Structure 1
Amino acid sequence: MSLPIWVYVVILGIFTSAFMAIKTARADKELETEWIEKEGQVYIERMEKEKEQRRQVGESE
């Protein structure tokens, strides 16, 4: 009881599609993580600058 060749092609296509979906999801997650870390660092630097400005205003009074 042999299956037609197109059935094997469809099954191969399904596995290939699943593999590519997983690969793309991982890449997107890595990019998102990098972006979040970058934005977090920008926020921290902004907070440090603001803290330094407040310290300078407090010293000048």
Structure 2
Amino acid sequence: MSEPEPDADFRERLLREVPDGDRDLVIEASGKQLDALGRKYDVYRTGVPLEGFDGFEDGGAKDEDD
């Protein structure tokens, strides 16, 4: 896994996606608060695994060949 994207870089990307009403929140946020705002707009920090995400598990679906 690569190094987590710094707050400043993530904030810059996120500011391109948020409406004017949330811009001040994004500017003042950091760390997990910034990540939470990003999730709200489907913008995710690079280099950081999502909490609770355990890979590409398909929930027990069987292959067609089984």
Which TM bucket (shorter chain)?
under 0.3
TM-score (norm 2): 0.22
Which of the pair has the greater relative contact order for Cα pairs under 8 Å at 6+ separation? 2
TM-score (norm 1): 0.24
Greater helix percent: which structure? 1
Structure with greater Cα Rg: 1
